[in-house]
């Protein structure tokens, strides 16, 4: 169901989408059952003159079974949800499949830096390629990422990959993903990181092999035009009024604007 709203571009995106479907079916059933009972009771048991309400304490077995039996069914379905969830979680976060490529992702107020490993597949070697706000990936390769932060918490979030991980200063957090679809996708910072948090985006481009090599060559030569800039155009995200300078004592201006 999620893929109806956003593209699905990594190998585990389908698993998360399926988990969503499983949970939707289970809770959808309970929701409509409970909601239906609520609405039905409200309509059926509206006050009528001369009709007295029933006196039910809800303590005899013949009464409590109406709440207890559905309740046991809830427990059974909880077990299903937990089991399916743990399978998907272990696959995505607890295992690290063998890598084909490596990238370092560094969050910093309010830019993303990416260090691509280059042809030798290792970081911190001379053939590394560094970019700002532009992540380039090769289709079908299993990537490991090393996630770091230089200042505050950030979050490396690519909705199309169903990928999300906090970056914590002082730590390197590893993870993996495998792009399965070419195209350019949004990366949003997903952890409040201060003034520029809302405009701390980047572009993730998944290339075919040729296109990837071309782009890397362009970046090395310095003739590369940023995908992030191209996609974003001239938008800055700031208010369009040219005279507008954000006032730090903004609440005072606010009050002035009211009175």
Partner 1 sequence: MSQATAAVKKDSQAEHHEELSFLYKYILPVDHKIIGMQYIFTGLIMAIIGGYFSYAFRMQLAFPGEVVPLYGLVGPGEYNMLITNHGTIMIFWVAMPVLIAGFGNYLIPLMIGCDDMVFPRLNRLSYQIFLVSALVLIASFFVTGGGFGGAWTSYPPLSSNAEYSLTDWGASLWILAVALEFVSFLLGGINFITTTMNARAPGMKMMDIPIAVWFIVIAVILFMASVGPLIAGAVMLFMDQRLGTSFFLPSGGGDPLLWQHLFWFFGHPEVYVVLLPTMGIVADVITVFSRKKLFGYRTVLYTAFATGGLSFVVWAHHQFIAGIDPRVANVFVVTTVLISIPLAEMMFSYIATLYGGSIELKTPMLWALGFLAAFLIGGVTGIYLGASALDIYFHDSYFVLAHFHYTFFPITIIGMFAALTFWFPKMFGRMMNETLGKIHFWGTFIPFNCIFLPLFFLGLAGQNRRVYNFQLYPDLATQDLQNIRIFATLSLVVMLIFQLVFIYNFFVSMFKGEKAPNNPWNANTLEWSIPSPPPHGNFKTLPTVYRGAYEYSVPGRELDYWPQNEAPK
Q: How many residues sit in the footprint of partner 1 (CB under 8 A)?
A: 105
210 binds partner 1 (CB under 8 A): no
Among 25, 35, 122, 213, contact with partner 1 (rule: CB under 8 A): 35
169 binds partner 1 (CB under 8 A): yes
C-alpha distances (whole Å) from 211 to each of 130, 141, 183 are: 17, 14, 11
- Residue 210 or 249: the one with the smaller Cβ distance to partner 1 is 249
Residue pointed to by tokens 């996609």: 231
Which backbone phi and psi does 27 adopt, to 5 degrees?
-75, -25
162 binds partner 1 (CB under 8 A): yes
**Segment 87-126, which members bind partner 1 (CB under 8 A)?**
88-89, 92-94, 109
- Residue 6 and residue 16 in contact, taking contact as beta carbons nearer than 8 Å: no
Under DSSP, the state recorded for 48 is -
34 binds partner 1 (CB under 8 A): yes
Q: Is 129 helix (H, G, I), strand (E, B) or coil?
A: strand
User: SS3 letters for 149-177?
Assistant: ECCCCEEEEEHHHCEEEEECCCCCEEEEE
Q: Please state, as a whole number, how many other Cβ atoms lie within 10 Å of the Cβ of residue 22.
A: 15
**Segment 13-32, which members bind partner 1 (CB under 8 A)?**
15-16, 19-20, 23, 26-27, 30-31
**Segment 129-158, which members bind partner 1 (CB under 8 A)?**
151-153, 155, 157
**Segment 40-59, which members bind partner 1 (CB under 8 A)?**
41-42, 45-48, 51-59
Query: 215: closest CA among 119, 136, 123, 121?
Result: 136
- Residue 123 or 152: the one with the smaller Cβ distance to partner 1 is 152
Stretch that binds partner 1, among 98-106, 115-123, 135-143, 192-200 (CB under 8 A): 192-200
Q: How far apart are CB 115 and partner 1 at their closest, in Å?
A: 20
214 binds partner 1 (CB under 8 A): no
- Residue 174 or 214: the one with the smaller Cβ distance to partner 1 is 174
Cβ within 8 Å of residue 37, ≥6 positions away: none
């Amino acid at each position: 169901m999620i893929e109806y709203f956003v593209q699905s571009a990594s190998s585990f995106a389908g698993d998360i989408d399926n988990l969503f479907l499983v949970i939707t079916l289970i809770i959808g059933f309970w929701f409509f059952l409970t909601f239906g009972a609520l609405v039905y009771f409200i309509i059926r048991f509206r006050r009528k003159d001369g009709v007295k309400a029933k006196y039910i304490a809800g303590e005899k077995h013949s009464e409590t079974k109406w709440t207890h039996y559905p309740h046991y069914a809830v427990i059974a379905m909880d077990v299903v949800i937990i089991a399916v969830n743990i399978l998907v979680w272990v696959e995505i976060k607890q295992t690290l499949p063998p890598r084909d490529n490596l990238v370092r992702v560094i969050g910093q107020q309010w830019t993303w830096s990416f260090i691509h490993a280059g042809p030798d597949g290792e970081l911190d070697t001379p053939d590394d390629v560094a970019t700002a706000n532009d992540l380039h990936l090769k289709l079908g390769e299993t990537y490991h990422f090393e996630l770091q932060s230089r200042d505050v918490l950030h979050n490396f979030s690519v909705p199309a990959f169903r990928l999300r991980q906090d970056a914590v200063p002082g730590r390197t957090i590893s993870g993996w993903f495998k792009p399965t679809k070419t195209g350019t996708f949004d990366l949003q910072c997903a952890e409040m990181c201060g003034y520029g948090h809302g405009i701390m985006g980047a572009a993730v481009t998944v290339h075919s092999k040729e296109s990837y090599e071309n782009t890397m060559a362009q970046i090395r030569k310095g003739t590369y035009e940023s995908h992030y800039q191209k996609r974003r155009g001239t938008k800055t995200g700031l208010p369009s009024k040219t005279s507008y300078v954000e006032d730090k004592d903004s609440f005072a201006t606010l009050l002035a604007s009211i009175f």
